[in-house]
A and B are shown apart, each in its own frame.
Chain A
Amino acid sequence: MNRYRAVRYLGYALEILVVFILQETPGLIPAVGGARPVVLIPAAVCIAMFEAETPAMVFGLLAGLLADYGAGGVLGFHALLLAAACFAVSLMAANLFQTNFLMALLTCAVTEACMTLLQWLFFFVLYGYAHAGYALTAHYLPIFCYTFALTPLAYYFNRALALQIRSKEE
């Protein structure tokens, strides 16, 4: 592995760790309508858009494990979904579509929507809690919207990181 690639991977790993700390620190990211964003999802998906399948999957796995650890419940849920999602995003970015801002918005929206819905299904509906519909509209939807709103930040940050180091690599 060449030096620049190692630096890039280290950068991604640090980014994920810092994003996790920012996301979990009480009172740091302001709540909007009681919702706080799950920034690890757009960060992992945007990394996947600029990397090959295996590294994309590994960073998805790392982000997912941290999300699971933060949630304090079942370990592996976010890790499994994010690893698979990042693999798929990386594959599609290489073969099906161009990596640009609109595609980043689209892929992040789909990934975040799927993960939010599955989170609601597995950790609210199947737990047998009351008012599942209300929880979806009043809590999970705002979390999705807030997370989605931060997608441009994640995209441009990772684009800058990937392009800066790649230009030196070439």
Chain B
Amino acid sequence: MKDVFHSTAFKILVAVVAAMFCLMLYTAGAGDSATATALGLITTPMQRVSAIVANNAAAAARTAAQPKEELEAENRRLRQQVEDLNKKLVNYYAYQQENAQLRKFLELKNDNPDFKLVAAAVIGRDPNDLFGQFTLDQGSRAGIALNDPVVTEAGVVGWVSSLSAGYSKVTTFLAPETKISAMDRVSRETGVVGCDIRAADRSLLQLNYLSAGTAVKAGDLIVTSGIGGIYPRNLIIGTVKDVKHSTYDVSLYAEVEPAVDVKAVRDVLVITSFTGQGEALSPAGGKASSSSAGGKP
């Protein structure tokens, strides 16, 4: 035990600690690294498979929890269905799911012809993250770039905060660094949607900086205003639940119930291009350095 400081193992430990410290400093500054890419190459395919298995298991568990009569009726109906469609059933469920996803995709695309969309599935959620950050199975190879907005057919989810060739990480609107320029669709008043840990726990957002005589009221729909160049205009964020006084100044803020439950979302769309994208960003900074618009500190 006394000679531990002279041992080879201890020297290796010192070298490892120094290397990890350098890696920490490098990734804190540069954001991405070859190590992360290498780890992603190994783990992303495995995460993709485990996510599919977990989704199927969850669907099976839901069925098992149904009452007996309901199950018997469903079983009879399904047997009939299987017989009818037996010849056509090759990959039926996969096609059905894909069809449903593409239909939503098409609806969003029809409403917004300028959008270029990439469909992606959630394959990882880290237990250390408190704000619902997740990993997608698509990365820069699919055309995704840093700060791209992430949505579902119901509304905004967040933005791409880091990525590699085969995966990307999404920071949701529950994270304090996410600030979304928003507008009340009824009164057309604007504000900034943000969140903190307490609000995130109640699954609520805050529409901040409303004037004292605000016309925003419960039930109003809050959408993105498009200012900032990160999110396109008119994407649904949520519905106003209540309007309250700010604790820090004379302004008011609205509690907004989000349209999307980001902690349960499984399939998303990444908007890789839209009219007005990056317009408010600094000309020298380009897309990757547009952190202030995305709200990154």
Quick one: closest B residue to A62, CB to CB? B39
The reply to whether the CB of A44 lies closer than 8 angstroms to some CB of chain B is no
Question: What is the CB-to-nearest-CB distance from A139 to chain B, in angstroms, rounded to a whole number?
Answer: 5
The reply to whether the CB of B12 lies closer than 8 angstroms to some CB of chain A is yes
Question: What is the CB-to-nearest-CB distance from B120 to chain A, in angstroms, rounded to a whole number?
Answer: 13
Quick one: closest A residue to B51, CB to CB? A25
The reply to whether the CB of A113 lies closer than 8 angstroms to some CB of chain B is no
The reply to whether the CB of B138 lies closer than 8 angstroms to some CB of chain A is no
The proximity string for B residues 264-281 relative to A, scoring 1 for CB distances below 8 Å and 0 otherwise, is 001000000000000000
Q: What is the size, in residues, of chain A's interface with B at 8 Å between Cβ atoms?
A: 55
Contact A20 B43 (CB under 8 A): yes
The reply to whether the CB of B212 lies closer than 8 angstroms to some CB of chain A is no
Chain A residues in 8 Å Cβ range of B66: none
Contact B16 A61 (CB under 8 A): yes
A24 to B17, CA, bound (A): 25
The reply to whether the CB of B27 lies closer than 8 angstroms to some CB of chain A is yes
List residues of A (93-146) whose CB comes within 8 Å of B's CBs.
95-96, 119, 123-124, 127-131, 134-135, 138-139, 143
Known: A24-B125, A26-B51, A87-B13. A69 touches B40 (CB 8 A): yes
Q: What is the size, in residues, of chain B's interface with A at 8 Å between Cβ atoms?
A: 56
Contact A75 B17 (CB under 8 A): no
Chain B residues in 8 Å Cβ range of A139: 130, 197
The reply to whether the CB of A28 lies closer than 8 angstroms to some CB of chain B is yes
Known: A76-B24, A129-B176. A67 touches B128 (CB 8 A): yes
A130 to B53, CA, bound (A): 37
A67 to B20, CA, bound (A): 13
Chain A residues in 8 Å Cβ range of B36: 69, 75
A130 to B208, CA, bound (A): 15
The proximity string for B residues 162-177 relative to A, scoring 1 for CB distances below 8 Å and 0 otherwise, is 1000000100000011
Quick one: closest A residue to B163, CB to CB? A72
A26 to B36, CA, bound (A): 20
Contact B127 A37 (CB under 8 A): yes
Contact B58 A84 (CB under 8 A): no
The reply to whether the CB of A9 lies closer than 8 angstroms to some CB of chain B is no
* Residue among A54, A70, A79, A131 with the highest chain B CB neighbour number at 10 A: A70
Contact B16 A71 (CB under 8 A): no
The reply to whether the CB of B95 lies closer than 8 angstroms to some CB of chain A is no
Chain B residues in 8 Å Cβ range of A35: 127
Chain B residues in 8 Å Cβ range of A65: 35, 39
Contact A66 B33 (CB under 8 A): no
Contact B20 A76 (CB under 8 A): yes
Question: What is the CB-to-nearest-CB distance from A127 to chain B, in angstroms, rounded to a whole number?
Answer: 7
List residues of B (30-83) whose CB comes within 8 Å of A's CBs.
33, 35-36, 39-40, 42-43, 46-47, 50-51, 53-55, 57-58
Which stretch, B1-9, B178-186, B218-226, touches the partner chain A? B1-9
9 A-B contacts, Cβ less than 8 Å apart? A23-B127, A25-B124, A27-B58, A28-B50, A61-B20, A67-B128, A71-B129, A72-B129, A77-B24
